[in-house]
Amino acid sequence: MTATLEPDAVAAALALRDLTDPAHGPHALQLLLDAAVAALGRHRAVSVQRQGAAVAVEDNYDRLGYAPSAVTRESRYSRYLSETVMLRSHTSAAVPPALRALAGRPDAPDDLLLVLPGLVHRRDAIDRLHVGEPHQVDLWRIVRGRRMTPADLQEMLAALVPAILPGARWRTVAADHPYTAAGRQLDVDTGDGWVELAECGLAAPGVLRRAGLDPDRWSGLALGMGLDRALMLRKGLPDIRLLRAADPRIAGQMQDLEPWRPVSMLPPTGRDLSIVVAAGTDTDLLGDRARRALGADAQVLESLSVRTATPHERLPQHVRARLGSRPGQENLLVRLVLRPLDRTLTDHEANDVRDRVYAALHEGPHHEWTLPPRVTP
């Protein structure tokens, strides 16, 4: 049985603003997307399509070629609404319906750029580079009557990278994706090392066939890119939370592609947790639980990291008794770094955030609160 999201979590996910959508107000992500489309859309038809967050599991996984046993399908990584519907985990979920619509068009163009941007929903760690609802775009060039080759893919990348990151050094390395053939990973040099910008390849014939496009007549290039990371690289942003910051000094800078002009970053506040969880619980799942517990206040949490993990069997007896741990569990020492982008937290506020995260993460029978009284969940 697939574990499904609770109604409040679904409502929060659906209410989140899509920064790539002009209907929700201007944002620099839209300028970056426009630059990509302008670079790749020359001399061919362009179709920009926006899909809702709730998609068929078949479109998100099966029709893209994911194996039934693929680990990404697990509830710990994917957000299911039912056995057959989920919050999309990548914008590639929009590809199968877009290709089906193309197959059904008697006037389909011979050379088409599909532009499929928006929010995706996944479980992820909490740090300066990751959020649970990042923005992505899939850029698929679909052609009729000509076989796309790796040389065409290289030409596509040579047009895209300068448009997104002018002057950047880039490379590709071999990578496997269920929906591509001759798959590649696109990396850019940040000066501090190579960072992945996109995954790409030739459109897998099976994906075309399942959508009703004969691979003997149709072929294509497939590319998926994280827009948040691209914008951070373009502007030199140090923290992904800046993209949604309400502080006018920050929000005003999210209206252009000019380099980031630092504003005062207030000192962080740290809080440590000693919790009991099921053995093998990772930071992605902890981060997801923490975000859900904090709701609108999640932006104050700069990072969540596990400092140590000790299985129940290795804990001293007095620690087992204090925690109430059991076989199959482990004791994690978790570090929270709290730093709102626009103010300093009071001790009371920091302790309240600490307790809310603690209540969401700790699975033991005994609790250690900093702000009594608190009802045990």
256 belongs to a structural domain: no
Contact yes or no for 334/361 (Cβ under 8 A): yes
Same domain flag for 222 and 313: no
> For the chain, what percentages of helix, strand and coil (3-state, to nearest 5) are there?
35, 25, 40
Same domain flag for 276 and 214: no
- What's the whole-number mean pLDDT along residues 157-172? 97
130 belongs to a structural domain: yes
User: How far apart, in whole angstroms, are the C-alpha atoms of residue 362 and residue 15?
Assistant: 28
84 belongs to a structural domain: yes
180 belongs to a structural domain: yes
pLDDT band at 343 (very low <50, low <70, confident <90, very high): confident
348 belongs to a structural domain: yes
Spatial CA neighbour of 300 closest among 359, 360, 234, 351 = 351
117 belongs to a structural domain: yes
CA 286, 287, 290, 291 dihedral sign is negative
Kindly report the CATH number assigned to the domain that includes residue 305: 3.30.70.380
Same domain flag for 202 and 318: no
Spatial CA neighbour of 366 closest among 336, 337, 331 = 331
Same domain flag for 280 and 219: no
How many Å separate Cα 151 from the centre of its chain?
29
pTM listed for this prediction: 0.80
Same domain flag for 190 and 69: yes
- What's the whole-number mean pLDDT along residues 225-232? 96
Among residues 216, 235, 254, which one ends one of the domains? 235
- For the record, the structure tokens of 200 come out as 């790409």
- For the record, the structure tokens of 140 come out as 């698929």
284 belongs to a structural domain: yes
pLDDT over threshold 70, residue 368: yes
The structural domain count of the chain equals 2
Same domain flag for 127 and 47: yes
Same domain flag for 84 and 181: yes
Q: Where is average pLDDT lowest: 31-45, 117-131, 173-187, 280-294? A: 117-131
Among residues 235, 260, 295, which one ends one of the domains? 235
Same domain flag for 102 and 216: yes
Same domain flag for 326 and 188: no
Same domain flag for 295 and 194: no
241 belongs to a structural domain: no
Same domain flag for 47 and 128: yes
User: How far apart, in whole angstroms, are the C-alpha atoms of residue 22 and residue 323?
Assistant: 50
Among residues 191, 213, 235, which one ends one of the domains? 235
- What's the whole-number mean pLDDT along residues 296-309? 92
SS3 200: strand
Kindly report the CATH number assigned to the domain that includes residue 132: 3.30.930.10
pLDDT at residue number 373: 60
- What's the whole-number mean pLDDT along residues 301-319? 94
Q: In this predicted model, what pLDDT tens digit does every residue of 57-99 receive, in sequence order?
A: 999 999 999 999 999 998 888 999 999 999 999 999 999 999 9
Same domain flag for 143 and 221: yes
Domain containing 298 equals: 269-361
pLDDT over threshold 90, residue 180: yes
Q: Which amino acid is at 67?
A: A
